[in-house]
Amino acid sequence: MKVIKWRAEYTITFLVCLTLILLLMPTSIKSNFQANLITRWKDSYNKLIFAQDAILKQEQSDILTSFKRANTPDEREDLFIQIFKPYFRLGDKKISKFYKVKYMNGTRLKKEDELYIEEYFYTDNHMIVGIKDIPDDDKGNTIFIVTFDVNGTLPPNRWGKDVFGAKIYSDKVRALGEDMSIELQQKGCNINSLGLTCSNYYLIGGDFND
């Protein structure tokens, strides 16, 4: 029986292969994780469009009539939550104040930021939804921002990673960044940016930043 002798070349080859595996494995895991989060966002966005269409077909409902009579942001937010609650199965339990959202570059949202939201709600599939009334546009249309943390309270809780959002108008839904050029969307979707434009950039097939 021939005995195979271990050579130095075998050791070198083994170490090279092991190094490649260690280098590629984290990237692969991270990429798959991010791809899954983006898929959840796409599903949420499609559901948001469906909810908008369904609500527009019920313009004569009592709750929509009340909505039009609401005078303050708080009143509109409360009614908006009631309208959208069945579509996303929002729970009554609000998220702990310890839950904080950051921009992609790691900076925290400030209270004066447009995307700063006071109260968040759980959905039945453990996502976190934030709803905020913002000033009317130049045509007098009421606008809301709806945000989704598709990963729930689990990290990273950052825009462009697991947090995405859209603006809701009286007649349309627009993911954040949709009104920008592709170049600007790409520029605003990297680790050194706020990550807001990722919301639309991923919807149109943009690559995510590892």
**94 or 60: which leads in pLDDT:** 94
Q: Amino acid identity of 42?
A: K
**Angle at Cα 109 formed by Cα 143 and Cα 72, nearest 5°?**
35
> What confidence category does residue 41 fall into, taking pLDDT thresholds of 50, 70 and 90?
very high
Beta bridge partners, 147, equal 130, 165
Whether 115 and 146 have beta carbons less than 8 Å apart is answered as no
pLDDT in tens, 141-171: 667 899 999 999 899 999 999 999 999 887 7
Alpha-carbon torsion (67, 68, 71, 72), positive or negative: positive
Helices (H) and strands (E) in the chain, counts: 5, 5
Q: Domain spans of the chain?
A: 38-201
Confidence of residue 125 (pLDDT cuts 50, 70, 90): confident
Task: Name the average pLDDT for the chain.
Answer: 79
Token pair, residue 163, equals 């947090």
pLDDT at 80: 78
pLDDT-derived band at 177, boundaries 50, 70, 90:
very high
Single pTM value for the model: 0.78
Q: Residue 77 and residue 90: Cα distance in Å, rounded?
A: 14
User: With contact defined as beta carbons under 8 Å apart, do 147 and 162 qualify?
Assistant: no
* Strands (E) located in 43-155: 120-122, 128-134, 143-149
Looking at residue 21, its pLDDT comes to 44
Give the residues across from 158 on adjacent strands: 102
Q: 123 with 129: CB under 8 angstroms?
A: yes
> In terms of pLDDT, which residue wins out, 83 or 112?
112
152 or 9, higher pLDDT: 152
The proportion of the chain whose per-residue pLDDT surpasses 70, expressed as a percent, equals 72
* Residue 37 Rama label (left phi>0; alpha psi -120 to 50; beta): alpha
